[in-house]
């Protein structure tokens, strides 16, 4: 595993071993056989719309003049992280739904509803060169699309190893929900046994925070901050310049007073 999730490094096909070269998102881009010959290659394009090139389609080996100068052709079905190519449909299966590279969209609506964003068919916010969506789901965004922080929430990096929740909150609630209610939303969102990160103000603050309560309910690690989160500024939580909720400076981060991400429950 890497910071971006599991990285494919090798494949055994028809009894032969191939090395896999992957890109920055852990998308497989090239297969090389034991003789160092390229047997399969998938070029980087906007939405993965080009078909992979196989050895028999033109990988001549330098310095070899015989007719048999190509690596053997192989069928390799992995595509973007979490996707498997389906020859019958011409689509990529993404666990919860199918992805159509020609249109750059899913063919089914996001099963977590508008919590994944207002466009329920979009793939990773229209930016597959920067983000991945291994399960065919999105971040759990509990913000109104008209909220000033909504666009920043869409741009917030995905983490295949975590269920990320982006919302307004307090030490005891997220989007007005207590831990049991939020737990149901995460179940419906397909978070399963993944660790949860609550990108919500003060979700980890205090002795009985919603993060600690949620960790006990789900029996997974839950990460919460002891300070406000400022999604448009990145991942770092900061305390406000003024601790007075009535002051306008309460809405301004004090970068000299960083907060902490606190882990609750067992680290897996």
pLDDT (tens digit per residue) in 34-55: 988 899 999 998 899 999 988 7
CB neighbour list of residue 65: distance below 8 Å, 6 or more residues apart: none
63 secondary structure, DSSP code: T
Yes or no: say if 163 and 140 are a contact pair by the CB < 8 Å rule: yes
Yes or no: say if 218 and 183 are a contact pair by the CB < 8 Å rule: yes
Do the domain assignments include residue 93? no
Task: For residue 124, give Cα distances in angstroms to 70, 113, 238.
Answer: 37, 15, 27
Between 127 and 197, name the one with better pLDDT.
197
Do the domain assignments include residue 72? no
Query: Mean pLDDT over residues 182-201, rounded?
Result: 87
Do the domain assignments include residue 146? yes
Q: In total, how many domains does the chain have?
A: 1
Yes or no: say if 203 and 210 are a contact pair by the CB < 8 Å rule: yes
Which domain does 230 fall in, by range?
139-264
Do the domain assignments include residue 166? yes
Q: How confident is the model over 118-160, as pLDDT tens digits?
A: 677 888 767 777 666 766 666 788 888 788 888 788 778 777 6
Do the domain assignments include residue 13? no
Do the domain assignments include residue 228? yes
Which H, E and C letters describe 204-251, residue by residue? CCCCCCHHHHHHHHHCCCEEEECCCCCHHHCCCCEEECCCCCCCHHHH
Q: Worst-scoring range by mean pLDDT, 10-14, 52-56, 58-62, 102-106? A: 58-62
pLDDT of 118: 60
Do the domain assignments include residue 121? no
pLDDT of 153: 83
100-137 core/surface letters (b: 16 or more CB in 10 A; e: else): bbeebbbeeebbbeebbbebbbbbbbeebeebbbbbbb
Do the domain assignments include residue 109? no
The answer on pLDDT for 242 being more than 50 is yes
């Amino acid at each position: 595993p890497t910071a971006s999730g599991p990285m494919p490094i090798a494949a055994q096909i028809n009894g032969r071993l191939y090395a896999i070269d992957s890109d920055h998102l852990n998308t497989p881009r090239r297969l090389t056989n034991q003789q160092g010959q390229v047997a399969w290659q998938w070029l980087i394009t906007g939405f993965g719309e080009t078909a992979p090139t196989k050895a028999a389609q033109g990988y001549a080996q330098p310095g070899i003049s015989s007719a048999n100068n190509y690596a053997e052709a192989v069928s390799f079905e992995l595509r973007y992280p979490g996707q498997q190519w389906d020859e019958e449909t011409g689509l990529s299966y993404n666990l919860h739904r199918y992805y159509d590279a020609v249109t750059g969209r899913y063919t089914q609506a996001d099963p977590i509803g508008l919590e994944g964003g207002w466009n329920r068919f979009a793939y990773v916010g229209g930016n597959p060169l920067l983000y991945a969506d291994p399960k065919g789901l999105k971040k759990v965004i509990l913000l109104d699309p008209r909220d000033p922080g909504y666009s920043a929430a869409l741009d917030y990096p995905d983490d295949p190893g975590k269920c990320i929740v982006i919302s307004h909150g307090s030490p005891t609630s997220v989007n007005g929900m207590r831990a049991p209610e939020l737990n149901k939303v995460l179940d419906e969102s397909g978070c399963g046994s993944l660790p949860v990160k609550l990108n919500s103000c003060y979700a980890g603050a205090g002795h009985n925070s919603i993060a600690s309560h949620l960790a006990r309910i789900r029996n997974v690690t839950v990460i919460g901050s002891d300070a406000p989160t400022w999604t448009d500024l990145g991942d770092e939580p900061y305390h406000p310049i003024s601790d007075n909720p009535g002051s306008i400076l309460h809405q301004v981060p004090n970068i000299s007073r960083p907060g902490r991400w606190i882990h609750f429950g067992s680290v897996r």
